[in-house]
Amino acid sequence: MSVLALEGLEVSLDGTSLLDGVGFTLEPASITALVGESGSGKSVTALALCGLLPAALRARWRLLSFDGRAVDDPVPLRGRGVALMPQDALASLDPVMRVGHQIDEVLGHVAGVGPADRRSRRESLLREVGFSEPATIATSYPHQLSGGMRQRALLAATLAAEPRVLIADEPTTALDASLRQGVLTLLRELTTRRRLAMLFITHDLAAVEAIADQVTVLYAGRVAEQGAAKTIFSSPRHPYTAGLLAARLDGNGPARVLPGSLPSVGERPVGCRFSPRCARRSAQCAEQPALVDGVACHHPTGAA
């Protein structure tokens, strides 16, 4: 059974749709990647799942379930059920508070761990994310740590309340190649060991290919394609997915730039939102395609 299931998520601002019908399932010990260009709706989806949307935004869904039970309000799940690790560790960690104190706050206020047990739990968490000297890290301020160390310290705090679902929002964006690989390896190990259901939000398709089990591709607030990562990377069916993969700089040939740009919220076309950029478009694309067999396209790749 899935840990979290989402169907028909809609988010709007003053009646203008930002997300339209987004859905996926998160399974234990599995990583689902949420990908797409900036402005596709990835971070808005994450904030909606945590009940952290700005007050001006309105969210509703056809179904949101956690461990098989329908959820009306995601706020009670925040921290212990669903935890969000933001992308900017330096901005997310309090600059005037030692790392250990910040982890202790989560242990005390969210996980309900008593003062006598917090030190051992804190050091265990820091060791789990790769620190060989947890006591030293606990007494450090964020600015005294490298980018990769800050990311791992933030991860330790995120895991302190033993969440079932971890949402990692662009966890490798600010890291160089060597640190990036270490964080990816750590996330994969934690997912397996803790049986986490992870939503991995990123622009980095190489990272997705390295660790994801499932992929959901968003375009302008809608799901374009979703399925097993291996299938998505080997045989993409939506022209947008194929365009994203062709634009990668992976050393296997020249990248092909995806023509056009993502439409702004107020300029999204009726019907298929990708149609103005698509070489396969036809008059049929004036109608919104349904998501069928994992692809929302009237003319998917491989079809007549």
Q: What is the DSSP letter of 261?
A: -
What pLDDT does residue 304 have? 44
Q: pLDDT tens digit string along 135-146?
A: 999 999 999 999
The tokens describing 144, both together, are 């005294």
Alpha helices in the chain (DSSP H): 42-50, 89-92, 99-109, 115-128, 134-138, 147-159, 177-194, 205-211, 229-234, 239-246
Torsion angle of C-alpha atoms 86, 206, 231, 294, degrees rounded to 10: 40
Residue 251 has pLDDT above 60, yes or no: no
Q: pLDDT tens digit string along 152-200?
A: 999 999 999 999 999 999 988 777 777 888 889 999 999 999 999 999 9
Q: 214-219 and 30-35: which strand pairing?
A: parallel
CB 56, CB 41: distance < 8 Å? no
Output the CA–CA distances (angstroms, integers) from residue 187 to 106, 243, 291, in the order listed: 20, 27, 30
Torsion angle of C-alpha atoms 304, 302, 5, 33, degrees rounded to 10: -150
Neighbours of 30 (CB within 10 A): 18
Strand, helix or coil for residue 21: strand
252 pLDDT band, cuts 50/70/90, is: low
Mean pLDDT calculated for residue range 89-112? 94
Neighbours of 66 (CB within 10 A): 21
φ and ψ of 297, to 5 deg: -155, 135
Range with top average pLDDT, 19-33, 146-160, 262-276: 19-33
The angle, 0 to 180 degrees and rounded to 10, between the axes of the packed helices 147-159 and 177-194 is 20
Residue 157, amino acid: A
What pLDDT does residue 73 have? 95
Strand, helix or coil for residue 73: coil
Neighbours of 260 (CB within 10 A): 11
Domains and CATH numbers, the chain: 1-81+163-255 (3.40.50.300), 92-158 (no CATH)
